[in-house]
Structure 1
Amino acid sequence: MDPVAVPSPAQGPVIPDFGGGGCPNDATFCWSWVRENWGSQLVPHLVQHIYITAIAVMIGLVISLAAAVLAYRLSWFEKGFMAFSTVLYTIPALAFFLFFVPITGLSLLTVEIGLVGYTFLLLFRNTLTGLRSVPPGAMAAAAGMGMTPREIFLRINLPLAVPSIMAGARIATVTVISLATIAADVTPLGLGELIFTALHTVFRTELIAAGALAILLALVADALLVLAQRAATPWIRVRRGRTA
């Protein structure tokens, strides 16, 4: 049997190659790895991250909106849900995710339960604040025009609360995007999977690329929500134009 070949010290240290056109482990950033892995690694994980975030924010928004409507009409419900959402928000993210692992396993459901829980405080508080910030004069004028309480809520309270609701949605979305990276330590999904893999292999290019995409996603999502708010509240632009 031939002896195992051992590289001589004269050959120098062996630097791992991560399949990116000869990108060495000690390189700060390697564009060739990004180009070669853009379609096979970065984009699929970015799409997963968007999917995870969208589900959590949408479910959180529906639950928080329903809870805010109840709290708007039933004052005793506000304290209970506010305390519940505050407790959830103060739990460390990784501990929150791991708490549900024995129940739902290492699955997307586990991640979504945790992420949705973190949206409650932000969305509920902003929605309730928006509903209560409607000028009493506007509600009295609507009642004087013969609107029913339901019509006043749907046509006056809810539209005027949109800016506050969208502000909460912006904060919740950015929060979920960041926490979804931590959730990858429980279930390997999204950009967090690439980040944790890069941390274990000390591959800076993958770490920087995945982290930059997460930051860019948060900025783009926030900008899109700002545009959505402006489209949903055209009267604000009209009012600002008159006062300018």
Structure 2
Amino acid sequence: MNLFLDALAWLTDPANWTGPGGIPTRVLQHLVITFAAVAAAAVVALPTGVLIGHTRKGAGVVGAIAGAARAIPTLGLLTLLGLALGIGLEAPLLALIVLAVPSVLAGAYAGVQNVSTDTTGAAKAIGMSPRQVVFQVEIPLAAPVIIGGLRAATLQVVATATLAAYTADFGLGRYLFAGLKSRDYAEMLAGALLVAVLALVLELLFAAAQRRAAGRIAATARPDDAVAPPDSPQEKELV
């Protein structure tokens, strides 16, 4: 109980809210590396997942990549990259990108692949080109599942981004490493609480975006046009 009170006192200390190492700066740094990693992963994984879902070829590749990437220990990968690239943000950023790819890839694949073939067939029947089918039919209908993949990737990255402080003075993880070094457990707990609150805020934002996307589909599409629900067995296996 005293530790929680000490952590609360640390969080409410005005000295910890100012300067280059203050809480607002660390939160902003944490968000920057989180969104940079997810965005970089999305550049590669989203088109790949959409293509595989559209053609329905290469599902085994998705499973293999997702399984292999998730099996890699993040701290071990970060240590290896740190030895190769040295001190700085390059190593943690690359490690976080690797961590984010499986969820984004699986979400894009599952979302597009689960769009009803009747829907895509009807779109082709009225003269839509394959490109139009992808961008005007499949991706809009798959949006809730795609957002779900981005949501899962973001939550994984925002929690793991604390390791960025392992090779760089960056992000909320700095409080954990500094507290561990000085045995200031109140600072460590305060840092952990900040990460948890940040993750919760991002979770709520993505959940709202996912519900909004699903609501748009429900309002504009027939029941048989809907994408399989996010908790379907196939998505549970992939995302």
**TM-score (norm. length: structure 2):** 0.81
- Whether 1:238 and 2:235 are equivalent positions in the alignment is no
**Corresponding residue for residue 14 of structure 2:** 35
2:38 partner amino acid: V
8 Å CA contact retained: 2:104, 2:153: yes
1:28 partner amino acid: D
Residues 29 and 179 of structure 1, relative CA distance in 2, 3 Å threshold? closer
1:29 partner amino acid: A
Identify which of structures 1 and 2 has the higher relative contact order when contacts are C-alpha pairs closer than 8 Å and 6+ apart: 2
**Corresponding residue for residue 57 of structure 1:** 38
| The one of 190, 203, 212 aligned to 1:222 | 203
* Cα shift at 1:79: 2.9
* Cα shift at 1:163: 0.7
2:96 partner amino acid: L
Percentage of identical aligned residues: 27
2:206 partner amino acid: L
**Corresponding residue for residue 89 of structure 2:** 108
* Cα shift at 1:210: 1.3
* Cα shift at 1:228: 2.7
Consecutive unaligned residues in structure 2, runs of 5 or more: 224-239
3-state DSSP class of the match of 2:13? helix
3-state DSSP class of the match of 2:18? helix
Residues 152 and 74 of structure 1, relative CA distance in 2, 3 Å threshold? closer
Deviation sequence 1:211-241 (CA, Å, 0-9, x none) = 111011101111112233344454245379x
- Range moving further from structure 2, 143-152 or 109-118: 143-152
**TM-score (norm. length: structure 1):** 0.80
Q: CA RMSD in A?
A: 2.6
Aligned pairs (5 A) from 1:41-190: 41-72=22-53, 77-190=58-171
8 Å CA contact retained: 2:8, 2:190: no
Distance (whole Å) between structure 1 residues aligned to residue 134 and residue 158 of structure 2 = 32
Distance (whole Å) between structure 2 residues aligned to residue 101 and residue 75 of structure 1 = 38
Distance (whole Å) between structure 2 residues aligned to residue 142 and residue 237 of structure 1 = 18
Distance (whole Å) between structure 1 residues aligned to residue 148 and residue 63 of structure 2 = 18
Distance (whole Å) between structure 2 residues aligned to residue 138 and residue 30 of structure 1 = 54
8 Å CA contact retained: 2:45, 2:104: yes
* Cα shift at 1:64: 0.7
Distance (whole Å) between structure 1 residues aligned to residue 137 and residue 170 of structure 2 = 41
3-state DSSP class of the match of 1:29? helix
Larger-gyration structure (1/2): 1
* Cα shift at 1:77: 4.1
8 Å CA contact retained: 2:96, 2:157: yes
1:153 partner amino acid: V
2:136 partner amino acid: R
8 Å CA contact retained: 2:56, 2:113: no
Distance (whole Å) between structure 2 residues aligned to residue 171 and residue 34 of structure 1 = 33
Deviation sequence 1:86-110 (CA, Å, 0-9, x none) = 2222111111111112332222111
**Corresponding residue for residue 236 of structure 2:** none
Moved over 6 A (4+): none
